[in-house]
C-alpha cells in the first residue's frame, strides 16, 4: 500500500510523485517552506492530497515557530502555503480549517497549540481516507459489472491521503465483486495517468490500458467505454468542474457518444462562493513541462507554449457528481447545496 503523505517524527513524509514510477522515493519535509515547495513543484499533487499537505504544512510551521509574534508567523505560514497553487480549492479549505483552529487556541501554552495543530493535520489526513472510502461506496453502483472505465489524470490514492476519489469508486466497485478494467489517459504534460494511475492500479491488480490523451475520443466512439470517472480541483455552485486540463475534452466526447461522465470529489472541493466555473482561476505552469519530457527536449529551442494546468467542464456535460455525502444530479445549484449542508 502506497502512502501519499504521512506525519512521521515531526516531519511531513511524501512519496515523490515527480519521480514515479521510475523511482519510489520518499522525502521528508522539516519546514513549512519545504512543504510549500513540494506542493508548488508537484512532488505532491491532486486536490485532496494538496489539502492534507497544506494542513500538515501549517502544523509544521507552528511546530517550528517561535513563541514571540505567533499570530504574525501563522499568517505568514498560511499565506505562503496559499500561494503555492491557485486552482484546487481544497488547499484554501485546509488552510482555513487550520487557521480557525489556531484562532480558538490562541493564548494557550505553545506546546498545547502545537499538539492540537498537529492532531488536526493528522485528522485531516485520516478524514480524507475515510471520505474517499465513502465516495467509493457511493459511486460503486454507477460502475457496471464487466465494464471498462476511462479516467483522466490521477484521481487515485496518490491524489489523496489514500484510496482515491475517481479510482476510489473503481476500487469500491472491484471490492463489491465487479469486474472492472480501466483505460487511463496518459495526461500530458505531467503524465499523471501514465506514471501514477497505471502504477497504482497495477499494484491493486486492476487491469489497466494506457492510451495517449488524443485516443480517448476514438475509444469513446468505439463503444468500449461504459463510463468516464474523473476527480476535480474545484466545483462551482452550478456544477461547473475545474479539473486537470483535458477533462473538458473528455466530457464533450463522452456526451457526444452518450457515455456517462462522472466526477468524484469530496465536499471540500465545492466552492459554493462561485456561481459558475468561469471565475475559477486557472494555473499557468512553466513552458518546460510541455517542451521537455523527463528533461529531454521534444520541441525546438525557443518554442512558444501555452500550459494551462486545468480546464473548466461546464455542468451540462456532467452526468453526476459523487461525494462522500451522496451523489448529486442536475440541477446542481440545488443538489450540491443540499449535499454541502447535510450531515455525513
Catalytic residues: 233
What is the CA angle 335-339-344, rounded to 5? 160
The span from the first CA to the last CA of the chain, in angstroms, equals 27
CB 328 within 8 A of CB 335: yes
Beta-bridged to residue 312, according to DSSP, are 242
Closest CB 243 distance from a second copy, rounded Å: 11
- Shortest reach from residue 185's CB to a second copy, in Å: 7
Task: Answer yes or no: are the C-beta atoms of 302 and 207 closer than 8 Å.
Answer: no
- For 279, phi then psi, to 5°, come to -100, 5
State the cell numbers at 115: 499538539
Nearer to a second copy, 100 or 218 (CB): 218
- Please give the residue ranges that form the binding site for a second copy (CB under 8 A): 21-22, 152, 183, 185-189, 191, 194-195, 198-199, 202, 207-219, 221, 245-246, 248-249, 252-253, 256, 290-291, 293-294, 296-300, 302-308, 311
Which residue matches cell numbers 475534452? Answer: 249
In the complex with a second copy, the residue whose CB is nearer, 104 or 294, is 294
Q: Which is nearer to a second copy, 109 or 281 (CB)?
A: 281
Task: Find all residues with CB under 8 Å of 100, minimum gap 6, and list them.
Answer: none
Closer to a second copy by CB, 53 or 229: give it.
229
Give backbone dihedrals phi and psi of 300, rounded to 5 degrees, phi first. -65, 155
Q: How far is the CB of 5 from a second copy (least distance, A)?
A: 21
Closest separation between CB of residue 310 and a second copy, Å? 9
Provide CB contacts within 8 A for 78, sequence distance 6+. 58, 95, 98, 99
Could you tell me the smallest distance in angstroms from the CB atom of residue 36 to a second copy?
Answer: 26
Whose Cβ is closer to a second copy: residue 69's or residue 212's? Answer: 212
The whole-angstrom separation of Cα 235 and Cα 258 is 23
Which of residues 217 and 330 has its CB atom nearest to a second copy in the complex?
217
Q: Are 113 and 105 in contact (CB under 8 A)?
A: yes
**Cβ distance to a second copy smaller for residue 139 or 277:** 277
Please give the Cα distance from 341 to 6 (Å, whole number): 30
Instruction: Give me the helix-helix angle, 110-139 and 166-175, nearest 10°.
Output: 60
Question: How many other CB atoms are there within 10 angstroms of residue 314's CB atom?
Answer: 17
CB-count exposure of residue 344 (10 Å: 0-12, 13-18, 19+): exposed
> Taking the complex as a whole, how short is the minimal distance between the CB of residue 143 and a second copy, in angstroms?
20
Among candidate residues 124, 148, 136, 33, the one with its CA nearest the CA of residue 116: 124
| Least spacing, CB of residue 232 vs a second copy, in Å | 16
Amino acid at each position: 500500500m502506497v502512502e501519499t503523505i504521512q506525519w512521521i517524527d515531526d516531519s511531513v513524509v511524501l512519496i515523490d510523485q515527480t519521480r514515479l514510477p521510475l523511482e519510489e522515493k520518499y522525502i521528508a519535509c522539516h519546514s513549512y517552506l519545504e512543504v510549500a515547495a513540494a506542493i508548488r513543484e508537484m512532488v505532491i499533487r491532486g486536490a485532496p492530497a494538496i489539502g492534507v499537505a497544506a494542513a500538515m504544512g501549517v502544523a509544521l510551521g507552528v511546530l517550528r515557530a517561535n513563541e514571540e509574534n505567533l499570530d504574525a508567523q501563522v499568517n505568514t505560514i498560511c499565506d505562503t502555503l496559499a500561494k503555492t497553487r491557485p486552482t484546487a480549492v481544497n488547499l484554501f479549505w485546509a488552510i482555513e480549517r487550520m487557521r480557525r483552529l489556531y484562532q480558538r487556541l490562541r493564548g494557550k501554552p505553545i506546546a498545547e497549540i502545537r499538539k492540537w495543530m498537529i492532531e488536526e493535520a493528522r485528522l485531516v489526513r485520516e478524514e480524507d481516507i475515510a471520505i474517499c472510502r465513502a465516495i467509493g461506496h457511493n459511486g460503486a453502483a454507477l460502475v457496471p459489472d464487466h465494464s471498462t472505465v476511462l479516467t483522466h489524470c490521477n484521481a487515485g490514492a496518490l491524489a489523496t491521503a489514500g484510496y482515491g476519489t475517481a479510482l476510489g469508486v473503481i476500487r469500491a466497485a472491484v471490492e463489491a465483486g465487479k469486474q472492472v478494467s480501466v483505460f487511463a489517459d496518459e495526461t500530458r504534460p505531467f503524465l499523471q495517468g501514465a506514471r501514477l494511475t497505471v502504477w497504482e492500479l497495477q499494484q491493486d491488480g486492476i487491469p489497466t490500458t494506457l492510451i495517449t490523451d488524443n485516443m480517448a475520443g476514438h475509444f469513446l466512439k468505439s463503444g468500449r467505454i461504459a463510463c468516464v470517472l474523473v476527480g476535480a480541483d474545484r466545483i462551482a455552485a452550478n456544477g461547473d468542474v475545474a479539473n486537470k486540463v483535458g477533462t473538458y475534452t473528455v466530457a464533450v466526447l463522452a456526451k457526444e457518444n452518450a457515455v456517462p461522465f462522472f466526477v468524484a470529489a469530496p465536499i471540500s472541493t465545492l466552492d459554493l462562493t462561485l456561481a459558475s466555473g468561469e471565475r475559477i482561476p486557472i494555473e499557468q505552469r512553466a513552458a518546460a513541462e510541455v517542451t521537455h519530457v523527463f528533461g529531454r527536449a521534444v520541441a525546438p529551442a525557443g518554442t512558444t507554449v501555452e500550459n494551462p494546468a486545468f480546464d473548466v467542464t461546464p455542468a451540462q456535460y456532467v452526468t453526476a457528481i459523487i461525494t462522500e455525502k451522496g451523489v448529486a444530479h442536475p440541477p446542481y445549484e440545488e443538489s450540491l447545496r443540499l449535499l454541502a449542508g447535510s450531515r455525513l
